[in-house]
């Protein structure tokens, strides 16, 4: 048996730091760039019983992880242990894979009539735009999954939400592979709810903190307006293997604990990209340390509750205006004004908190591309800001795309930087099952 599931990356168009507070919402778009997970049963000889799952990421060096697993006593769920495998290299851990595997198998063990979970081989494939590509990558490289030529920990992320897309697609693939469609289906409302809740729990555990969850929600549902869940929902889960862990996971995932009901709000209604327009991204090949930035903004918010509330209320209003204009399909001039209002308040927040949310280099680039290329309706430094990829709303035609590419080549030359138009586009769909046959030529 073989199963393939993919989940999209995200671009946080409007909302930024507001998503940390349940009083506000965020407008997040899914992307055509996806993380793909392929699950294959491992054939064993008659009478041979394996309890091993092998995970590999063939686009990177030394990226194979072997795991043993067993059912813990006293409803402790499935415990996963990393094995040495065939390699003599020092073990490298992948906390997102290991945690997603632990949580997914634990939930599956509460559903399957038998505790026995068959051994599988799992392949992770990332669309090229998740990582800055090596300088020697041919300009016309059309392969969907290029070899990045480095270890995973040495790759430069472009800020598209790779960990959330990985955990979501990984979890969705395991659930789809091990559970019959009558118990779990990615195409049903209940299936998406199970995937969302389980992915949020394992992603937060892998990060070591409870995040806002917008990236996981986008990976599951695609483009949406998102209001975060209360962090307390996940506070009582405890550690894998601890007494009753599996029971608590099942209750959280199926939302049956009356004292811990999910209060997240995810709306896809009226959120769209206007006809004839596209959301595109430009990679600046730097990346930012989001965690430190978030802490500093929250410190400022606590120190200036009145001033920060007024600014956040203003920004929420600007974000809602942009969402309405996207739905209505406004003129380019109106979009430019809407983006300008948002960016002005983001820069003010950056000044007041001492965080480079829209660094001056990014301000200069956004201003120049908006004013210098006719079909560009505006853009922002998405999400927490910093030096990750920028996002632009543009006219979806060859002339505009060519003009942007020419502009970026000239800009990079003049500034001594390396800014590139990524191939990924904003799209509406979330996690989905894929046809396994499309990967056959890619995976040995």
What's the pLDDT at 160? 87
What are the Cα distances from residue 238, in Å, to 264, 339, 386? 21, 43, 34
**Using an 8 Å Cβ cutoff, are 421 and 405 in contact?**
yes
- From 388, 429, 433, select the one nearest 162 (Cα to Cα): 388
CA distances from 318 to 15, 64, 343 (A): 9, 46, 10
- Model pLDDT, residue 131: 86
- The bridge status of strand 26-41 relative to strand 420-427 is antiparallel
Token match 């393939």: residue? 4
Are the C-beta atoms of residues 424 and 9 closer than 8 Å to each other? yes
Strand partners of residue 267: 225
- pLDDT value for 141: 54
User: Sign (positive/negative) of CA torsion 83, 88, 90, 96?
Assistant: negative
Torsion of CA 190, 195, 196, 198, to 10 degrees: 120
Give the CA count within 13 Å in the CB-facing half-sphere of 406. 9
**pLDDT (tens digit, 0 to 9) for every residue of the chain, 444 residues total?**
899 999 999 998 998 899 999 999 999 999 999 999 999 998 775 555 568 899 999 999 989 999 999 999 999 999 999 997 655 567 788 999 999 999 999 999 999 877 678 999 999 999 988 887 765 565 545 578 988 889 898 888 878 889 999 999 999 999 999 999 999 999 999 999 999 999 999 999 999 989 899 999 999 999 999 999 999 999 989 999 999 999 999 999 999 988 889 999 999 887 889 999 999 999 876 555 566 888 999 999 999 999 999 999 999 999 999 999 999 988 999 999 999 999 999 999 999 999 999 999 999 999 999 999 999 999 999 988 888 789 999 999 999 999 999 999 999 999 888 898 999 999 999 999 999 998 977 654
The CB density around residue 268, as the number of other CB atoms within 10 Å, is 13
In the chain, what are the domains?
A: 2-268 (3.30.230.10), 277-427 (3.30.70.890)
CB 175 within 8 A of CB 108: yes
Residue 444's pLDDT is what?
46
pLDDT recorded at residue 317 = 96
pLDDT of residue 58: 93
- Residues 6+ positions from 312 with CB-CB distance below 8 Å: 17, 18, 21, 24, 301
Q: What is the pLDDT of residue 161?
A: 87
Among 74, 64, 68, residue whose Cα is nearest residue 49: 68
Instruction: Annotate the chain with three-state secondary structure.
Output: CEEEEEEEEEEEEECHHHHHCCCCCEEEEEEEEEEEEEEEECCCCCCCCCCEEEEECCCCECCEEEEEEEECCCCCCEEEEEECCCCCCCCCCCHHHHHHHHHHHHHHHHHCCCCCCCCEEEEEEECHHHECCCCCCCCCCCCCCCCCCCEHHHCCECCCCHHHHHHHHHHHHHHHHHCCCCCCCCCCHHHHHHHHHHHHHHHHHHHCCCCCCHHHHHHHHCCEEEECCCHHHHCCCCCCCCCCHHHHHHHHHHCCCHHHCCCCEEECCCCCCCCCEEEEEEECCCCCCHHHHHHHHHHHHHHCHHHHHHHHHHHHHHHHHHHHHHHHCCCHHHHHHHHHHHHHHHHHHHHHHCCCCCCHHHHHHHHHHHHHCCCEEEEECCCCCCCCCEEEEEECCHHHHHHHHHHHHHHHHHHCCCCEEEEEEEECCCCEECCHHHHCCCCC
What does DSSP say about strands 277-283 and 390-395: parallel, antiparallel, or unpaired? antiparallel
In Å, what is the CA distance from 3 to each residue of 120, 192, 346? 11, 17, 43
pTM of the complete model beyond 0.85: yes
């Amino acid at each position: 048996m073989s199963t393939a599931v993919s989940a999209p990356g995200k671009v946080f168009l409007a909302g930024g730091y507001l998503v940390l507070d349940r009083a506000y919402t965020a407008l997040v778009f899914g992307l055509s760039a996806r993380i793909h997970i392929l699950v294959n049963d491992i054939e064993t000889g008659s009478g041979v019983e394996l309890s091993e799952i092998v995970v590999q990421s063939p686009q990177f060096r030394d990226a194979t992880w072997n795991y043993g697993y067993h059912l813990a006593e006293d409803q402790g769920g499935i415990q996963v242990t990393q094995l040495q495998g065939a390699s003599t290299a020092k073990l490298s851990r992948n906390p997102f894979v290991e945690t997603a595997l632990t949580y997914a198998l634990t939930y599956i063990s509460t559903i399957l009539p038998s505790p026995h979970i068959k051994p599988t081989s799992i392949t992770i494939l990332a669309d090229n735009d998740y990582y800055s590509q090596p300088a020697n990558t041919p300009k016309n490289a059309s392969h969907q999954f290029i070899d990045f030529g480095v270890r995973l920990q040495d790759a430069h992320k472009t800020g598209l939400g790779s960990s959330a897309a990985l955990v979501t697609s990984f979890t969705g693939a395991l659930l789809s592979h091990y559970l019959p469609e009558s118990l779990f289906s990615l195409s049903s409302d209940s299936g998406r709810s199970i995937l969302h809740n389980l992915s949020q729990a394992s992603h937060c555990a892998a990060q070591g903190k409870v995040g806002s969850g917008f990236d996981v929600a986008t990976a599951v549902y695609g483009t949406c307006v998102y209001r975060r869940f209360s962090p307390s929902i996940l506070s009582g889960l405890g550690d894998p293997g601890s007494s009753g862990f599996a029971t608590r996971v099942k209750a959280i995932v199926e939302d049956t604990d009356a004292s811990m009901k999910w209060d997240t709000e995810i709306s896809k209604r009226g959120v769209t990209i206007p006809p004839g327009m596209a959301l595109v991204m430009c990679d600046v090949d730097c990346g930012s340390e989001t965690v430190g930035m978030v802490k500093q903004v929250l410190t400022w918010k606590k120190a200036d509750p009145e001033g920060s509330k007024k600014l956040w209320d203003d920004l929420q209003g600007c974000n809602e205006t942009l969402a309405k204009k996207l739905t209505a399909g406004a003129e380019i001039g109106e979009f430019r004004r809407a983006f300008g209002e948002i960016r002005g308040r983001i820069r003010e927040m950056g000044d007041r908190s001492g965080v480079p949310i829209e660094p001056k280099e990014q301000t200069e680039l956004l201003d120049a591309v908006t004013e210098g290329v006719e079909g560009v309706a505006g853009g922002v430094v998405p999400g927490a800001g910093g030096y990750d990829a920028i996002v632009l709303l543009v006219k979806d035609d060859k002339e505009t795309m060519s003009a942007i590419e020419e502009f970026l080549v000239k800009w990079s030359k003049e500034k001594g930087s390396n800014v590139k138009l990524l191939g990924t586009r904003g799209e509406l769909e979330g996690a989905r099952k894929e046809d396994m046959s499309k990967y056959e030529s890619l995976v040995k």
